[in-house]
Amino acid sequence: MRGPQRIHELQTEQEAQTYLREAFATQLESSIRSNADPNTQIPGDYGAKTAFKILLSPNQQRAFFQRLIGDERYWPRIKTLIGNPPYSFLMPEDEGLIRPGGICRKRSHLASNQSSMSKVEDFGIGHYRDESERVYRIIADGKKGTTLPWRNVGSEGKLVLDVKLKAYSHQQKLEILRGRDGQVSMTSSLTFPRPSDIITLQLSEYLHDAGHSNTITVRIESGQQKVRNSPIARLLVTVIRA
């Protein structure tokens, strides 16, 4: 029986893995058939890359990447299907898996040597957004089942989320802070959620499924910014309504 054909139809980790393997294989075949130049995007690459970012946890991304590079035919497609190194999902011991400069010029590290938190590029479209236009990515959900982390989220469950602030120019930030042009309500988009905050998160439209709830309400338990001035932080939250 044929499996789900669209991301929003996927329910389990196994379905996600199968979907992704097939998507990457399709893109590889297309690149060979069209004689695409190495590291040059072709139609369909963006969709496969988006699926990689949202369907797999960091640990699953690492395992998928390790299997992928076992087939040298994928090496010229890593940039367009995975992105540019360094990769936050890899560990320091993965540094010698493949030469990073072959994926992107002047890159000397395959694994991130700063933090295991997400990079801006890792979010893609994200799993959730809030009314302040902050984007959230599920890192761990604590469930022992095999359903995808945004499926069947239960009340009182814990989630580890990476959050990314919306990008603004310096001038736009000043306008928001000064409350000009009716932007007073946008000040929360400049800061990370704080412990004890109650926030409603809306599932990405890319993942919407009529058979499941598309919103959850969470309480922020703790948070840590990636580095000073970074637009990214890691949060521990408790789901209070799903």
Residue 37: pLDDT over 70: yes
Q: Region 132-142: what's the mean pLDDT?
A: 92
**Counting every residue, how long is the chain?**
242
Instruction: Please state at what angle helix 45-55 crosses helix 13-33, rounded to 10 degrees.
Output: 160
Q: Give the tokens for residue 8.
A: 């929003």
Q: 190: helix, coil or strand?
A: helix
If pLDDT is split at 50, 70 and 90, which confidence band does 105 have?
A: confident
Determine the pLDDT at residue 141. 87
Q: Give the tokens for residue 75.
A: 């090496």
Q: Region 156-181: what's the mean pLDDT?
A: 85
pTM here is: 0.88
First to last CA, the chain: 31
Please answer whether residues 242 and 153 qualify as being in contact, where contact means their C-beta atoms are separated by less than 8 angstroms.
yes
For residue 4, whether the previous peptide bond is cis, meaning omega lies within 30 degrees of 0, is no
Residue 135: pLDDT over 60: yes
For the segment 74-83, what is each residue's pLDDT rounded down to a tens digit?
999 999 999 9
Residue 183: pLDDT over 70: no
Q: What is the mean pLDDT of the chain?
A: 89
Determine the pLDDT at residue 133. 92
Q: Give dist(CA 126, CA 207) in Å, integer.
A: 10
Residue with tokens 């928001």: 176
Determine the pLDDT at residue 184. 47
Residue 3: pLDDT over 70: no
Instruction: Please enumerate in sequence order all residues whose Cβ is within 8 A of that of 194, keeping only pairs 6 or more positions apart, or say none.
Output: 220, 223
Q: What angle do CA 142, 147, 151 make, to 5 degrees?
A: 85
Q: Which of 161, 155, 160 is nearest to 239 (CA)?
A: 155
Q: Give the tokens for residue 36.
A: 């695409």
Query: Residue 242 burial by CB count (10 A; 0-12/13-18/19+): exposed, middle or buried?
Result: middle
Please answer whether residues 218 and 201 qualify as being in contact, where contact means their C-beta atoms are separated by less than 8 angstroms.
yes
Determine the pLDDT at residue 1. 44
Residue 129: pLDDT over 80: yes
Q: 22: helix, coil or strand?
A: helix
For the segment 49-84, what is each residue's pLDDT rounded down to a tens digit?
999 999 999 999 999 999 999 999 999 999 999 999
Q: Which amino acid is at 154?
A: G
Q: Give dist(CA 41, CA 107) in Å, integer.
A: 19
As a whole-number percent, the residues of the chain with pLDDT over 90 amount to 65
Contacts within 8 Å (CB) and 24+ apart, 152-156: 152/212, 153/213, 153/216, 153/239, 153/242, 154/239, 154/242, 155/239, 155/240, 155/241, 155/242, 156/238, 156/239, 156/240
Q: 237: helix, coil or strand?
A: strand
